[in-house]
Amino acid sequence: MKIAMLTTWFPPIIVGSGNRFYEIGRRISKKYEVHIYTAHVEGCNREEERDGMVIHRYGKFDIPKSKSIEGDYHISKLKFSCKVLWEGLKMKDFDIVDCNVVSKPLSYVSYFISRSSDAPLILTWHEVWYEKNFESLNPFLALPGFFLELFIPKLSDINIAVSATTKRRLIELLGVDPGKVVEIPNGVDLKEFEMSVEKKYGRILYAGRLERHKKVDSLILVYKRLKRIFPEIELIIVGSGPQKVFLQKLAKELHIDVKFYEPLPRRKLIELMKSSWIFVLPSIREGQGIVLLEAMAAGTPPIAVKAEGSAVGDIVKNNYNGILISQSEMENAIKRLLMNGDLHTSLRENGLKFVRNYNWDEIAKRVAKLYERIVRRC
């Protein structure tokens, strides 16, 4: 079976949606021929074989450190999609096409490529934006984005939703036939976390893109208040994005010592996760939240914010494997984990059990079986 996987973002760009295609692609490539079509970034070859996959990189993208991967790069994404269309139409021997729905134009391109190969099309959904198009995009793009998204599901033979929330929104908001939606979550490589690292009491960690909807500023403000009560605590923020300068300035104005790091090498990040006492994800919009699974695998209880359309509640079960809160409850949640050792231990142990069901090896097998079933059916 020859598989085309289309995704705007892919390593070395650190984005959860791209990481999914990398983790699944490299596993199923042991059995099938996998081609990745993605954006080109400086330092990468245009064509290369990596971890069993053939990677084709188009366009000209800088790794987005100071720009939003959602609010910027619209012209670049469109040019990239056009280039993929031009190249993809020359290839007519794919058995299946799977597109990461993180770029609306690329979803339509994937349809034409699938039809040129007479191959079924799978669309992998991390989020359904719907009304959030008007919250996250400028007025000139919001309305076109809204209508483009409405018609995307009509292109596919099957849709993969990475969470129960995304599946529900596909059905309720975009009117997708429930029989054409399969829930296959994101995962974590549990083997990466098999290292011994000592926990450091009071270490609070955030790791991820520094975008506006991540609400990392709210964590910094809470940390300022908590520092008066718990002087030994520390806050570490790992990541890059358009909010970084603002967040650094905020911490300076508040006269608090917040440690900021650029994205770390994988092993260093895992060591930091395992050493942390608490992981906090203040974000109000997540398709699932791979980082929450990683925190659990690291034995670090997560705190996540429940919000309309965010799928963190599909992962964090309140007071079982983490704490699920409203934005205003963050301070009390962190206090609880600093003051209640029994609760911390319980969440930690339950998280380690829970995350065993999200091993990338098993998730890749589920995706491969879906591919096989769809190809046989078509």
Any residues with CB less than 8 A from the CB of 255 and at least 6 apart, and which? none
SS (H, E, C) 174-229: CCCCHHHEEECCCCECHHHHCCCCCCCCCEEEEECCCCHHHCHHHHHHHHHHHHHH
pLDDT in tens, 25-43: 999 999 999 999 998 888 8
pLDDT in tens, 199-244: 999 999 999 999 999 999 999 999 999 999 999 999 999 999 899 9
Average pLDDT rounded to a whole number, residues 184-194:
96
Of 145 and 7, the structure prediction assigns the larger pLDDT to 7
Q: For residue 13, what pLDDT is reported? A: 83
Which option is the CATH number for 2-187+359-377: 3.40.50.2000, 3.40.50.170, 3.30.910.20, 3.10.105.10? Answer: 3.40.50.2000
What are the extents of the domains in the chain? 2-187+359-377, 190-358
From its phi and psi, is residue 29 left (phi > 0), alpha (psi between -120 and 50) or beta? Answer: alpha
Q: For residue 80, what pLDDT is reported? A: 79
pLDDT in tens, 208-220: 999 999 999 999 9
Which option is the CATH number for 190-358: 3.30.56.10, 3.30.1280.10, 3.40.50.2000, 3.10.310.30? Answer: 3.40.50.2000
Residue 142 banded pLDDT, cuts 50, 70, 90: confident
Residue 269 banded pLDDT, cuts 50, 70, 90: very high
Q: For residue 73, what pLDDT is reported? A: 58
Of 135 and 333, the structure prediction assigns the larger pLDDT to 333
pLDDT in tens, 353-368: 999 999 999 999 999 9
Of 149 and 81, the structure prediction assigns the larger pLDDT to 149
Cβ burial of 312 (10 Å; 0-12, 13-18, 19+) is buried
Q: For residue 239, what pLDDT is reported? A: 93
Q: For residue 208, what pLDDT is reported? A: 94
Identical fold, 2-187+359-377 and 190-358: yes
pLDDT in tens, 314-366: 999 999 999 999 999 999 999 999 999 999 999 999 999 999 999 999 999 99
pLDDT at 191 > cutoff 70: yes
Label the pairing between strands 47-50 and 53-61. Answer: antiparallel
151, 174 Cβ separation under 8 angstroms: no
17, 110 Cβ separation under 8 angstroms: no
- The angle formed by the CA atoms of residues 293, 337 and 187, to the nearest 5 degrees, is 0
> Which ranges in the chain belong to alpha helices (H)?
16-28, 74-88, 104-116, 132-136, 139-151, 164-173, 216-229, 244-253, 266-275, 290-297, 330-339, 341-354, 360-377
Average pLDDT rounded to a whole number, residues 273-283:
98
Kindly report the pTM of this predicted structure.
0.91
Q: For residue 63, what pLDDT is reported? A: 57
In angstroms, the CA 230 to CA 218 distance is 18
Q: For residue 90, what pLDDT is reported? A: 65
Mean of the per-residue pLDDT values of the chain: 91
